[in-house]
């Protein structure tokens, strides 16, 4: 049985003080709730250290939203895996569609980051997903599984890997893939993982859904056989909504 995992991706939101307040509110809200999932939050880089302190006595884990594929050097504006670990991170989100769309990250760049993060001992959430045009063209599974294959090229140990399926057309739009649509892609991803790593390993890899998950639809999404929790955007910025999504885990 796979333990579901829910992580809040705060993106480029909140000052340091606002991030601390949000983290403390979530931690307090789940203090007396038995969680059926792993739970994490991913603040912006400047707030990582302070948020780590704020959640140190809670079950919340700290994630970063990105990292660089080199250990150090003349890479102005970038952040290394060692910096993330020193700030208290145990997770890093890689290959998010916004990184691909706005910052030109292709599958090869994402692959380098995945390998660097895993080698550094971090746990990785690898994001994959199709655009609306790709879905309407009927190439969703081709696009998504190519992102999986190329993102994991040369990766042998996937014990610290989570895949997040996020249809680009459903991120921040209020649109959500139906539970059947999401399950279909999740099952396809698991089949690809089975080809790459064998069925037993593939059955143990968790695949999250992301794309306008909210309290009203979390339970039905998380109840699907191949959906193992969620990568939550906008709803994770509201403590009551994020806590409600956490409690929707099966």
- Please list the active-site residues: 96, 166
> What's the rounded Cα separation, in Å, for the pair 59 and 5?
12
Q: How many other C-beta atoms are found inside a 10 Å radius of the C-beta of residue 159?
A: 9
> What's the rounded Cα separation, in Å, for the pair 186 and 190?
6
> What's the rounded Cα separation, in Å, for the pair 124 and 114?
7
Closest CA relative to residue 75, chosen from 113, 119, 43: 113
Q: How many other C-beta atoms are found inside a 10 Å radius of the C-beta of residue 76?
A: 5
Residue list, annotated binding site: 9-11, 172, 212, 233-234
Residue list, annotated binding site for substrate: 9-11, 172, 212, 233-234
């Amino acid at each position: 049985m796979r333990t579901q995992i829910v992580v809040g991706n705060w993106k480029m939101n909140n000052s340091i003080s606002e991030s601390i307040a949000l983290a403390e509110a979530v931690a307090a809200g789940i203090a007396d709730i038995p969680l059926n999932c792993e739970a994490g939050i991913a603040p912006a880089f400047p707030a990582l250290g302070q948020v780590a302190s704020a959640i140190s006595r809670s079950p919340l884990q700290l994630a970063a939203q990105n990292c660089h594929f080199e250990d150090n050097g003349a890479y102005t504006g970038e952040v290394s895996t060692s910096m993330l670990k020193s700030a208290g991170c145990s997770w890093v989100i890689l290959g998010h569609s916004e990184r691909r769309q706005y910052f030109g990250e292709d599958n090869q760049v994402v692959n380098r980051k995945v390998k660097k993060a895993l080698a550094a001992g971090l746990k990785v959430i690898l994001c994959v997903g199709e655009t609306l045009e790709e879905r309407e063209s009927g190439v969703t599974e081709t696009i998504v599984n190519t992102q999986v294959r190329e993102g994991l090229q040369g990766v042998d140990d996937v014990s610290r890997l989570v895949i997040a399926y996020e249809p680009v057309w459903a991120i921040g739009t209020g649109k959500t893939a139906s539970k059947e649509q999401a399950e279909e892609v999740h099952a396809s991803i698991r089949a690809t993982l089975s080809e790459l790593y064998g069925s037993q390993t593939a059955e143990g890899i968790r695949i999250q859904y992301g794309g306008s998950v909210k309290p009203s639809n979390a339970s039905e999404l998380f109840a699907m056989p191949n959906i193992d929790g969620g990568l939550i955007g906008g709803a994770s910025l509201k403590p009551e909504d994020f806590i409600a999504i956490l409690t929707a885990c099966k």
